[in-house]
A and B are shown apart, each in its own frame.
Chain A
Amino acid sequence: MAQAAPVAPPDLELTYEMPEQATLLSDAWRRLRRNRIALVGTVIIAILFITALISIVWTPYPVWLQAVGPTYQPPSGAHPLGLDQAGRDILSRIMGGALITIEVGIGSAIIVSLIGIPLGLLAGFYRGKVDTVISFFINIWYGIPDLLVALILVFVLSDALHLIPRGVFVIIIAFSLTRWMDVARLVRGQSLALREREFVEAARMAGARDFYLLVRHIFPNALGPIIVQATFAIPAAVLFEAFLSFLGLGLPSPTPSWGAMAADGYHGMDFAPHIVLAPTIALSLTLMAFNWLGDGLRDAFDPRMRR
């Protein structure tokens, strides 16, 4: 049957492309680089980081220094973003605000992960009673305005009980205590699914202890979604800080929080809109950048979820 054909062999092209050997992270990075909007986000975030770092050692004027010029002065050569109602240099304050934004955003993302990941791993891995307790908290929290609870927490912890001075730290703590459920729920789902997978089963058969399984097998495989979720926690925390400071319940004056700056400028908006515009635009750009990066990461880690 399989003898030489009388004429040229059938024109069947079967070529296989060898898939490149790629780890989860490098594969995701390759996909992320192709996502233009995520790249724009990354660039904005890079600028934010650099600005924040510079502000530690240098700002054109000290962020708290009042009356460096006439109050409400519009942008000029000496003060590119103008002066605020107390005659403070707005550019300096925007730079200082970048540092606070980074502190709040990154700090919250880390603490949220530190609380959420272990609890989620445990709930998904051990199921049973552990899961029931953790899931109970997750579910109860799902239906309440968590930002408002966090707001009360900040108030109680710093103003009423004087446990933690009002500042970046208390905001991070309050945010994390009310927002770890997002991460925990996600990790729980991942861990619940991964514990049944063959490679975990195989490691278990080989006599691996639970802790080893969790740390070396389940956690690394859930890393992609965790990174995505943690990235989305950053803009949420930044927004929370701005929201609190705008209402006068966040960082105390003269801390150059963008939210507080917006609140300052908001009263003189009719005749000096530059005071309110600078921090609100900086804030919106930052939130956008992190959301774009988050969307890009989600697509990169899970191409099937792509919308």
Chain B
Amino acid sequence: MTAVDGISFDVDRGEIVGIVGESGSGKTMTALSILRLIPEPGKITSGRILYGEKDVVQMSDEDIREFRGNEVAMIFQDPMTSLNPVLRVGFQVEEAMAAHSRFTRQQARDRVVPMLQRVRIPAAKDRVRDYPHQFSGGMRQRAMIAMGVSNEPSLLIADEPTTALDVTVQASIIELLRDLSRELRAAVILITHNMALVASLCNRVIVMYAGRIVEEGPTRAIFKNPQHPYTWSLLRSMPRVDETTRERLISIKGLPPDLGKMPPGCKFHPRCKFRVDRCFNEEPPLGEVDPGQLARCWVLMKNVANPEAEAQK
């Protein structure tokens, strides 16, 4: 079975790229494959993951180890289960640095408290010796972030970093991520299904469906002129406060396809309101629709005369 197929994108320094899509669309697999962390028995069968000049897929075990957490760091979804319950929080931050050659053991030890302070954990000096169960959910995610940025990586991958947290905490975690990425001049890949979060944080958006990129482009363009019916429906499925017209919300009927039995043609056609005959047996390529904006669709929303009416049918 193929979870992710033909994904191709690049991220530049200082850029924040959002990857959005329903659960099961392959967002997390894409992120994990950047660090070659696909869980057994999955594997990368073909393709390249270039970091500068180096290809992650071809790296030796030792090279990929040195690469993980040092050049590229990852922040996982659930801070409750992502920290080791039997090790002190401070130690877990320290070992992230000690594993790499950037800092000496002593430097790593000295940097723990400043790192925890940097992610705004109050009374960091007293809390380094705490265990994860003594931390709240938000605190744990801060500790995870501290761990991630401790080696000053140039790419930070955050996989739904706020999904498991209280709404009140979410905003402060996002703010922290934005500030840190600016300070470090690091690129960020933000994986989420929260379109509002993408709108507020990302420069560029990648929309995934059934293991493929269906649309990609600058945040502004995507939100203003979504070209793929999936993106369009996704945006119309959210209530908006600023919208004065009282449009009806659009729901996407059905479920994303099973990895085992992918439909032929465009993978979205079974749920698409705008499909044409071609969609049933020919998969569209990811083509440029506007400068910098790509979409994988035979129809494209700009060619639909009255999408609202069509969708409500």
> A contacts B directly in the complex (CB < 8 Å)?
yes
Contact B275 A7 (CB under 8 A): yes
Q: Does B218 contact A (CB under 8 A)?
A: no
The number of chain A residues with a CB under 8 A from chain B is: 7
Contact pattern, A 9-36, Cβ under 8 Å of B = 1, otherwise 0: 0111000000000000000000000000
Chain A residues contacting B253 (CB-CB under 8 Å) are 10
Q: How far is the CA of A1 from the CA of B310 in the complex (A)?
A: 11
Chain B min CB distance to A202 (Å): 38
Partner of B312, one of A1, A6, A11, A12: A1
Q: State whether the Cβ of A3 lies closer than 8 Å to any Cβ in chain B.
A: yes
Q: Nearest Cβ distance between residue B213 and chain A, in whole angstroms?
A: 22
Complex: how many Å from CA A11 to CA B255?
10
Distance of A12 Cα from B254 Cα, bound (Å): 7
Contact A10 B312 (CB under 8 A): no
| Distance from B196 Cβ to chain A, minimum over Cβ atoms (Å) | 26
Give the shortest distance, in Å, between B274 (CB) and chain A (any CB): 10
- A1 / chain B contacts, CB cutoff of 8 Å: 312-313
Q: Is B313 touching A10 in the complex (CB atoms < 8 A)? A: no
User: B271 in the interface, Cβ–Cβ < 8 Å?
Assistant: yes
Q: Give the chain A neighbours of B255 by CB distance below 8 A.
A: 12
Say how far A15's CB is from chain B's closest CB, in angstroms. Answer: 12
Determine if A12 and B275 form an interchain contact, defined as CB atoms under 8 angstroms apart.
no
> Quick check: B313 and A12 within 8 Å, CB to CB?
no
User: Taking the nearest CB of chain A, how far is it from the CB of B265, in angstroms?
Assistant: 11
Of A3, A6, A12, which contacts B270 at CB under 8 A?
A12
Chain B residue, CB-CB nearest to A11? B270
Contact between chains at B275 and A10 (CB < 8 Å): no
Produce 1/0 per residue, B89-105, CB < 8 A to A: 00000000000000000
Interface residues on B, range: under 10
Within the complex, the shortest CB–CB distance from B277 to chain A, in Å, comes to: 8
User: B104: shortest Cβ distance to chain A, in Å?
Assistant: 44
Interface of A is mostly: loop
Bound Cα distance from A7 to B299, whole angstroms:
15
* Inter-subunit contact B263/A11 (CB<8 Å): yes
Chain B nearest CB from A6 CB (Å) reads 8
Which chain B residues border A12 with CB–CB below 8 Å? 254-255, 270
Query: Could you mark each residue 133-164 of chain B with 1 if its beta carbon is under 8 Å from any beta carbon of chain A, else 0?
Result: 00000000000000000000000000000000
| Alpha-carbon distance between A222 and B254 when the two chains are bound, in angstroms | 42
Give 1 or 0 for each of A82-111: 1 = CB within 8 Å of chain B CB.
000000000000000000000000000000
Interface string of B247-274 (1 = CB under 8 A from A): 0000001110000000100000011000
The residues of B that contact A3 with a CB separation of less than 8 Å are 313
**A4 nearest in chain B by CB position:** B313
Q: Mark B270-313, 1 if CB is under 8 A from A, else 0.
A: 11000100000000000000000000000000000000000011
Give Cα distance in the complex from A7 to B275, angstroms: 9
A7 CA to B263 CA in the complex, in Å?
Answer: 16
Q: In the complex, what's the smallest C-beta–C-beta distance from B287 to chain A, in angstroms? A: 23
Interface members, chain B 221-271 (any A CB < 8 Å): 253-255, 263, 270-271
Q: How far is the CA of A11 from the CA of B253 in the complex (A)?
A: 11
> Closest residue of chain A to B277, judged by CB?
A7
Instruction: Report the separation of the CA atoms of residues A12 and B253 in the bound assembly, to the nearest whole angstrom.
Output: 10
A23 to B312 Cα, complex, angstroms: 48
A10→B279 CA distance, assembly (Å): 13
As a 0/1 sequence over residues 249 to 268 of chain A, the CB contacts with chain B under 8 angstroms (1 = contact) are 00000000000000000000
B312 cross-chain contacts in A, Cβ below 8 A = 1
Residues of B contacting A7 in the complex (Cβ-Cβ under 8 angstroms): 275
Q: How far is the CB of B291 from chain A (nearest CB, A)?
A: 33
Q: Which residue of A lies closest to B255 (CB)?
A: A12
Could you list some 14 contacts between A and B, CB below 8 A? Answer: A1-B312, A1-B313, A3-B313, A6-B313, A7-B275, A10-B253, A10-B254, A10-B270, A10-B271, A11-B263, A11-B270, A12-B254, A12-B255, A12-B270
Known contacts A11-B263, A11-B270, A12-B270; 11 additional CB pairs below 8 A are: A1-B312, A1-B313, A3-B313, A6-B313, A7-B275, A10-B253, A10-B254, A10-B270, A10-B271, A12-B254, A12-B255
